[in-house]
Amino acid sequence: MGGIVAFEMAQQLRMQGQEVAFLAMIDSYYPQCPAFFPHGRFRSGIASRADYHFGEMLRLTSKEKLAYVLARLTNIGRRTGSRVKTFTGKLNPDPAREDLFQSILKQVMAANSQAELSYVPHEYPGKITLFWCSEQPIRADQDWRLGWSEVAGGGLEVHGIPGRHLTMLTEPNISVLAGELRAALQRALPS
């Protein structure tokens, strides 16, 4: 959601008469991309996840596929156990059990989710610079990052950074991102 926030901040600054010399996003998805909502407003969460994992499997070796499937099954088991605990907690409510921090966090996440789903981007008159992870499985008809070109009035500049969504922000990939970001900033800012 960070890319959407950065995009809207740039829009608000421009509406206030401020200059935005550089708008950058790091592996951010376009919120209203038709590929994301091919059959109306939402794709099925399960279908979307299955599609993602299928894309992951395409790039792995046979040995890596087995490890990937085992890791996913372990994750499913952990999440299922957590949901069972949540469900049984609802059957036997104990207000003292509910942690205040968790309650607030859930409210914030729900509000963020609602804001993201209802956000409708409008054309941005400047250029958008997008840094995306080059190792994420990409199938052109479903890459939701490229949707930014639909609202980038000044064009969309894309930089591929080694790694995936989380690993692009760790060494050695973060050094590549820092170098690309520095060069893009130098080109965008007046001398």
Structural domain including 44 reads: 40-118
CB 157 within 8 A of CB 127: yes
Residue 104 is predicted with a pLDDT of 83
21 and 10, same domain (yes or no)? yes
Chain center to CA of 164:
11
pLDDT of residue 38: 42
| 143 and 181 co-located in one domain | yes
pLDDT for 89 equals 59
- How far apart (Å, rounded) are the C-alpha atoms in residues 131 and 158? 6
Phi, psi of 37 (to 5 degrees): -125, 60
* 47-93 pLDDT, tens digit each: 556 666 666 666 677 777 777 777 777 777 776 766 656 655 555 55
pLDDT tens digits, one per residue of 153-186: 999 999 999 988 878 889 999 999 999 999 999 9
Tens of pLDDT, residue by residue over 112-153, are 888 888 888 999 999 999 998 888 665 545 566 678 888 999
Same domain, 60 and 94: yes
pLDDT at position 94 over 90: no
Tokens of 37: 């909502």
Residue where a domain terminates, one of 97, 118, 139: 118
Alpha helices in the chain (DSSP H): 2-15, 45-58, 62-91, 100-118, 173-188
